[in-house]
Amino acid sequence: MIEAPRSRPACPAAPAGAGAPAREGRLTGWLSLLSVLPLVAALFVAPPALAQRGAPESFSALAEKTLPAVVNISTSQTIQNRPGGRSPVPMPDFPPGSPFEEFFRDFYERQQQNPGTPRRAQSLGSGFVIDPAGYIVTNNHVIEGADEITVILQDEDQTELKAKLIGTDKETDLALLKIDTKLRLTALKWGNSDVLKVGDWVVAIGNPFGLGGTVTAGIVSARARDIGAGRFDDFIQTDAAINQGNSGGPLVNLAGDVVGINSAIYSRTGGSVGIGFAIPSGMARTVIEELRKNGKVRRGWLGVQIQSVTPEIAESMGLAHHKGALVGTVTDGSPAAEAGLRPGDVILTFNGKEVLNNRTLPRMVAGTPVGTKVSVGISRKGEALTVPITLAEFPEDPTAAETPAQPEESVTDGAQQQVDALGLTVSAITPDLRRQFTLADGVKGVVITRVNPDAPPQSRQLRPGDVVLEVSQQPVAAPGDVQERVDAARQAGQKAVLLLVDRKGEQTFLALALEEAK
């Protein structure tokens, strides 16, 4: 429905005989209104935050400054077709008569006619110069597996140069290249990603879809994004358009300094939907310096397996908040073991910085140089402690170094205990049960033999064969110990009890609600 515009009320007539004084009053009122109009306009035209941070009228000067340092990267590699001519990728569905359908059909037919014949595959990406000597930063996934890497400069001649791979780091998806040329190269400076705020202007530069140097502008949409790409996820999210081929290009601030490296997009179509991700410069700079110096990245290593501190775990441990990282396993011979860290310790600070959760600690440790002596603040059974630890180098095969420290030898009596409050039945570890559940020889504690179907929800995370090592951060030697600790927790008014559970060598803390099984 369209609503007809309402007519404005007529101005009231001036009283008879008002004369000049009335006109002067109206004039004074208009002058007063005009005096505040600039203030009102400022509120609507430029919000204070944008005015203070200098929202640009144009990005042309920034583009002119940064584009010469951004390069296109072309790679090629040899791929062996599968015998039988079948491709691992299914034929895409296209509308009938689509030119793409004809192109892909021809490609698949050639594959079938030449089974087992190697073919050349090419890909395109972006990068940027960080040193006029010819050092170039890009993503690892842009050059991974490449037989040949070609860098195309943003000059009038579109100069093409072969690049040498200095080093890569899969963990952070970064790579460092080197080109040799007598040409004068423009380099970009690293910026400080730590000072970025949500809402700050940023500009993404790269080679989307192979089109060449392209500039898009947007803002920082979010920080510290975990997108499941790896252990050290700490992405900057931006709505500056990032598409396929932008990978490896710089994300710059208004000063033209690199605050991120464009790395990934969230999209159902392959095109930009306004959700792009960049590796923060604070992380990238350290990695690139390591690659330039050593050809690989040497990371600090603590030697613990950690998990998050949930509200239930915090309550069962008597913690005031659910921050920090809970130590589940300490690797034998690791820096943490030598410093005396134990399962059940909650790491609250690392080298003077607060550990917010179990995601932040690995980044903090990995970003600290090997051999650095750090102070680690922990909570151990309610007591605050500071432990000095000297970091070692992260082992190339971390699984080989992660041998769980075993609890003290316990006495078994063969008895069973039904713990109604948890909905579990536990038993001493007998030779028969060890064989039945294929328990490792070194595992001590009590084994769960039954989980009641009507057990509390948290208890249903457990299963027969899981071994309870601790209850309320105290080792259990016999099934009756579990019931005693549960009874003590209920008498103390606790709503949950903390269990340390071993499942096939993986140790995990679980906070189980204290309620009677139904």
Distance of CA 372 to the CA centre of its chain: 24
DSSP 373-389: EEEEEEEETTEEEEEEE
Look up 141 and say whether it is catalytic: yes
Amino acid letter for position 270? G
Look up 322 and say whether it is catalytic: no
The residue count for the chain: 518
**Measuring CA to CA, how many Å separate 517 from each of 422, 450, 453, 495?**
7, 13, 10, 14
| Other Cβ atoms within 10 Å of 31 Cβ, number | 9
Q: Round to the nearest angstrom and report the end-to-end CA distance of the chain.
A: 58
Look up 247 and say whether it is catalytic: yes
Contacts by residues 286-295 (CB-CB < 8 Å, ≥ 24 positions apart)? 286/367, 287/169, 287/172, 287/174, 288/130, 288/137, 288/174, 288/176, 290/169, 291/166, 291/167, 291/168, 291/169, 291/174, 291/175, 291/176, 292/135, 292/166, 292/167, 292/176, 294/167, 295/166, 295/167
Say if CB 299 and CB 370 are below 8 A apart: yes
Amino acid letter for position 28? T
Say if CB 105 and CB 93 are below 8 A apart: no
Structure tokens at 307: 């998990």
Candidates 170, 232, 175; CA nearest to 396 is 170
- Which helix (H) or strand (E) segment holds residue 350: the answer is strand 346-350
DSSP 300-311: EE--EEEEE--H
Catalytic residue among 141, 379, 466, 472: 141
Structure tokens at 190: 């690293």
| Other Cβ atoms within 10 Å of 427 Cβ, number | 20
Catalytic residue among 169, 173, 345, 502: 173
Say if CB 361 and CB 416 are below 8 A apart: no
Catalytic residue among 74, 221, 247, 379: 247
Say if CB 498 and CB 473 are below 8 A apart: yes
Q: Return the active site residues.
A: 141, 173, 247
